Amino acid sequence: MQNSFYNFADPLEQLKQQSLYRSRCVQEGPQAVVLNLDGRQLLNFCSNDYLGLANHPAVCAAFQQAVNSYGVGSGAAHLICGHSTAHHALEEELAAFTGRSRALLFSTGYMANLGVISALLGRGDSLFADRLNHASLVDGALLSRARLQRYAHADMDALQTQLATCQSKALLVSDGVFSMDGDLAPLEKLAHLAAQYQAGLLIDDAHGFGVLGAQGGGVVEHFGLSQQDVPILMGTLGKAFGTFGAFVAGADDLIEFLIQKARTYVFTTALPPAVAAASRVSLQLVQTETWRREKLQQLILRFRSGAEQQGLPLLDSFTPIQPLLIGDSERVMAISKQLLALGFLVSAIRPPTVPAGTARLRITFSAQHQESQVDALLDVLAKVVR
């Protein structure tokens, strides 16, 4: 008799019937705006490599040189013998970049959010979260066993009503740039409410770092806020920075506390030192090659202007994330497949990643895109979506 626990065929078939089944493609070669995917060359409009640094010659050279110095792996957790001079230098440079006392490297943004929230909260505490927050923030709340209270997207009146009745230790958590909508959190109001109600504030700026702000400092720089306004700041290195990993930046005591208590920091192997070395070069390029952000904004404006002329239903966003709302999961999958057949790689985003009835094409741009490629995308969208 077959063990029913291992019956995965039925739920998998159900996902296929609901147009919610996910499949992987196999990529050959480096990350770029033209990808070799499953043996075909495709125009790539779904990468988070916003500044085009993932295959930058200087970043690659730094990685290769560091491999000669450090080898491939770190060998252990940071607290054992895995914390190299490359890691330490990157942490110091990230702290200076964000205008904070210290920074702490994590292996991924997901692990950073889980580690921070579960270290700072426990049973009897409260966590207040935007309903469209990234899954890692939700999972961090669940792991901490704090009481999770979610408010409607960017609804500061609803948040204030919740905070007014809170009698426990509280933490506010929000994306800085919402990864599926491309809009920004109302950061000034969040900072004001956190201060008013003596709550902590954690901002996940995975999709803002490198892209927003005059120096690429992200959503906090965009709003002109400080460490006092936003005490806990998380950023990732695998998007605009083009490498891998994540960091949390804040006050000295906060970082020291996380070193002691964040389980996803304590109990995992450190990033390879070569990744840290490559990230240091990326950090320099983010700050010095401002033309990348300028060109990115020009491409976004060109796309939005063309989409408006064609009546394409874009969500309101000035970031590289440009969601085109379709609604139905089956239809968005059909459109994505049509685009693929025409040589355009555009992700179809469906529940549970986004709320039911809001399936969309998540179109993203890189500083490496050309205007002619944006125009080609607009032309094909006009034909396929309508």
Q: Does 179 participate in catalysis according to the annotation?
A: yes
| CATH value of 21-51+290-385 in 3.90.1150.10, 3.20.20.150, 3.40.50.2300, 3.30.465.10 | 3.90.1150.10
Which residues of the chain are in CATH 3.90.1150.10 domains? 21-51+290-385
CA distance 386 to 331: 11
What pLDDT, on the 0 to 100 scale, is given for residue 38? 84
Q: pLDDT by residue (tens digit) across 127-171?
A: 999 999 999 999 999 999 999 999 999 999 999 999 999 999 999
Average the pLDDT over 213-241 and give the result.
Answer: 98
Q: Does 169 participate in catalysis according to the annotation?
A: no
Catalytic residue among 78, 207, 295, 369: 207
Alpha-helical regions (H) of the chain:
9-17, 57-70, 85-98, 109-120, 135-144, 156-164, 187-196, 219-223, 252-261, 263-266, 273-288, 291-309, 329-341, 371-385
Q: pLDDT by residue (tens digit) across 310-366?
A: 999 999 999 999 999 999 999 999 999 999 999 999 999 999 999 999 999 999 999
Average the pLDDT over 178-193 and give the result.
Answer: 98
Average the pLDDT over 196-200 and give the result.
Answer: 98
* Sign, CA torsion 31/222/230/174: negative
* Parallel, antiparallel or unpaired: strands 147-151 and 126-130: parallel
Q: Does 174 participate in catalysis according to the annotation?
A: no
% of the chain with per-residue pLDDT over 70: 100
Catalytic residue among 78, 134, 239, 295: 239
Judge whether residue 25 has pLDDT over 90: no
What pLDDT, on the 0 to 100 scale, is given for residue 124? 96
Catalytic residue among 84, 126, 179, 347: 179
Which residues of the chain are in CATH 3.40.640.10 domains? 57-288
Q: In this structure, what token pair is assigned to residue 51?
A: 């500044």
* Contact call for residues 242 and 56 (beta carbons, < 8 A): yes
Average the pLDDT over 190-194 and give the result.
Answer: 98
Lowest-confidence range among 23-37, 76-90, 243-257? 23-37
CA dihedral 206, 216, 95, 193 (to 10 degrees): -60
**CATH class in words for 57-288:** alpha beta
HSE-up (13 A, CA, CB side) for residue 97: 32
What pLDDT, on the 0 to 100 scale, is given for residue 2? 76
Mean pLDDT of the chain: 96
